[in-house]
Amino acid sequence: MTEVNRVWRLRKRPVGDITDDVLTLAEEPIPEPNDGECLFRLNYLSLDPTNRIWMSDVDQYMPPVALDAPMRGVVCGTVVKSRHPGYTEGQIVSGLGDWADYQLGSPLTLNVMGDTGGVPVVDAFSTFAVVGPTAYFGLLDVGQPKAGETVVVSAAAGAVGSIAGQIAKIKGCRVIGLAGTKNKCTWIKEELGFDAAINYRTEDVPTALAAACPDGIDVYFDNVGGAILDVCLKLMNFNGRIPTCGLISQYNATEPVPGPYNYPMILMRRLRVQGFIVLDFADRYPEAVAALGRWMAEGRIKVRTEIVDGLENALQTVKRIFTGANTGKLIIRVKDVYR
Amino acid sequence: MTEVNRVWRLRKRPVGDITDDVLTLAEEPIPEPNDGECLFRLNYLSLDPTNRIWMSDVDQYMPPVALDAPMRGVVCGTVVKSRHPGYTEGQIVSGLGDWADYQLGSPLTLNVMGDTGGVPVVDAFSTFAVVGPTAYFGLLDVGQPKAGETVVVSAAAGAVGSIAGQIAKIKGCRVIGLAGTKNKCTWIKEELGFDAAINYRTEDVPTALAAACPDGIDVYFDNVGGAILDVCLKLMNFNGRIPTCGLISQYNATEPVPGPYNYPMILMRRLRVQGFIVLDFADRYPEAVAALGRWMAEGRIKVRTEIVDGLENALQTVKRIFTGANTGKLIIRVKDVYR
């Protein structure tokens, strides 16, 4: 092959907001697979809040991206050359990879994408690769909501939050979402069926949330941490649960961020606060994909994907997650694929 | 009866440390039991960190003591008059009651003390009424330690912490305790068999704890919150557990106390932080008492009880809990009883 490979490499760790000098787009030769690997071409790149964690070197759930290494991402690709019996040319694959046009994969991080049941590849990748199972296991396994309980979701118009809230509705819960624009609030309430939506930028959150949760909160699905977590802690019912999926309000912080002032509510209300990542449930992905696919087919779960074309736009686009500019799942499209 | 009844009543809510004007010792008539109640005489009064919570009106796990009401406590008494078929004169009872010589009880809060298996009443009350079951269920049910894991206990020379640490040793864990004096550290290490003891007042806790936990921390049994919690969070292993039994470092705070700066470790290390109170396990007390009694008889659990005579000394004595002046369980003795 004579084509050039574009690779986003991490050049410095961000301090505060992601800046333009954090990543550079290098032009490099296309790598050759070794025994046990395949070479694949990138179709879609998932942009996620956790990208900011991987760029930094704070204590985290997997090693941070090394300086000058390719930026890590969740990817969907097509196999172009294989030296592993599990991959054949033309197969669609997904998993953990790089922000790069061409890259090597092995079964450690890359799966062949199974049957998507008629769902287009981009939608299947967008929903089933990370965010859907995250919402599914985080809400159901960690949050354990019961019918009739009150569930609050922050970043509720985000990729994970919007699905978590809809699953909670399916399970018979009263669901309140927090989002940062009028449009997002309208979307989750009118289209996704949340019982109430609170605009945390324009409303007084303690007052609005207390009014929306007259019976208190049983499950707070936490995507953001910070001030909203503090308000929720105050409203939690006895034996409430706080699945901790993300703390996006503080990923870009440049100073130490105090924990919630209402931390003692964990004791006083006998709460369970539990962090999780979707990889912990990897062996149960098929269960989540089957349930999500069924609910989507039935129209009970709606997803919104925002697609931006061009790997060269990945850096500018990932920043939007941290300003609340996007709704639903954010995907970089390099080349559409169908099956 | 013509005897006078002394009753400690809550006159104001403490701001910061417990002060002498918070409670007064009133002299009152001895109450008469109504149908369904018994009248009992106080033998022993348990003094516990949670007394400070009950005095305040912060959000808490049961209603705070009302102003001018008798101060609430865990009590052991002897029935002197009964108008309930479940109580007979001379029976030894224990449960939730008042800081008062004479008081009324009903099955809602007061149990007849069962066979103590040869253990003296004061020791049975001291260990089995609250602190033993708290340590037992908090460590085993909430903390779920496995043999070979590292367990850290704060307030490790305290009534609950000292038992929790010894149970962890029985379960095959490596156990590190934090305490505030040289004598306490010596006691938990030399007499109770902790693997290491750290004096948090004289040692650099981050350094000492990291050195004592070369394999990280799997279970942190939290009695104190605050700075020690923050250090432990940083050292927690993946899927670690933090049973939250108390937050004594901040009960006397007069300003809002920030939560732990290392709160994000809950996400990054997929921790489970869970508050509990022993009342949640009330239906399983016999299991805890049987196990604790057996371990005590075998010499595998040692308890230390500090007995102060005279109900009139309760106010001065309870303050000692918050200065770290006591070791083990603190009991006010009004009248010794035997069986």
What average pLDDT does range A95-120 have in this prediction? 90
Q: Are A32 and A54 in contact, with CB atoms under 8 Å apart?
A: no
pLDDT-derived band at A163, boundaries 50, 70, 90 = very high
Output the DSSP codes for B285-320. Answer: HHHHHHHHHHHHHTTSS---EEEEE-GGGHHHHHGG
Q: Are B194 and B176 in contact, with CB atoms under 8 Å apart?
A: yes
Mean pLDDT of chain A: 94
Residues B6 and B27: their CA atoms lie apart, in Å, by 5
Under-50 pLDDT residues of chain B: 1
CA B127 vs. chain centroid, Å, equals 9
pLDDT-derived band at A287, boundaries 50, 70, 90 = very high
Interface test with B, best of A237, A242, A273, A276 (most B CBs within 10 A): A273
Q: In the structure encoding, which two tokens stand for residue B13, read together?
A: 């809510």
Cβ count within 10 A of residue B12: 13
Output the DSSP codes for A106-126. Answer: -TTTEEE----TT--HHHHHH
Please say if the pLDDT value at position A168 is more than 60.
yes
| Count of residues in chain A | 339
With CA atoms as reference, report the closest residue to A154 among A35, A16, A324: A324
pLDDT-derived band at A117, boundaries 50, 70, 90 = confident
B264 contacts in chain A (CB < 8 Å): 58-59, 225, 247, 250
Q: What is the pLDDT of residue B2?
A: 52
Minimal-distance CA residue of chain B relative to A269: B61
Expressed in percent and rounded to 5, the helix, strand and coil fractions of chain A are 30, 30, 40
Interface test with A, best of B274, B277, B279, B281 (most A CBs within 10 A): B274
What 3-state DSSP class applies to A334?
A: coil
Is A257 close to B256, i.e. CB distance below 8 A? no
B246 contacts in chain A (CB < 8 Å): 267
For the stretch A300-320, pLDDT in tens is 999 999 999 999 999 999 999
Cβ count within 10 A of residue A182: 12
Q: What is the pLDDT of residue B297?
A: 87
Nearest to B259 among A61, A263, A272 (CB): A263
CA distance A80 to chain B (A): 35
Share of chain A above pLDDT 90, in %: 82
Q: What is the pLDDT of residue B221?
A: 98
pLDDT-derived band at A2, boundaries 50, 70, 90 = low
Is B267 close to A245, i.e. CB distance below 8 A? yes
What average pLDDT does range A273-288 have in this prediction? 92
Please say if the pLDDT value at position A118 is more than 50.
yes
Q: What is the pLDDT of residue B253?
A: 85
What average pLDDT does range A232-239 have in this prediction? 98
Please say if the pLDDT value at position A169 is more than 90.
yes
For the stretch A5-48, pLDDT in tens is 999 999 999 999 999 999 999 999 999 999 999 999 999 999 99
Residues B44 and B307: their CA atoms lie apart, in Å, by 9
Please say if the pLDDT value at position A1 is more than 50.
no
For the stretch B75-93, pLDDT in tens is 999 999 999 999 999 999 9
Q: Are A247 and A224 in contact, with CB atoms under 8 Å apart?
A: yes
Residues B158 and A68: their CA atoms lie apart, in Å, by 51
Q: For strand A174-179 and strand A110-112, is the pairing parallel, antiparallel, or unpaired? A: unpaired
This model of the complex carries an ipTM of 0.90
Output the DSSP codes for B18-86. Answer: --TTSEEEEEEPPPPPPTT-EEEEEEEEEE-THHHHHHS-SS-SSPPPPTTSBPEEEEEEEEEEESSTT
Residue A245 sits at the chain B interface (C-beta within 8 Å): yes
Output the DSSP codes for B199-223. Answer: ETTTS-HHHHHHHH-TT-EEEEEBS
Cβ contacts of residue A268 below 8 Å, gap of 6+? B53, B58, B59, B60, B61, B275
pLDDT higher for A4 or A218?
A218
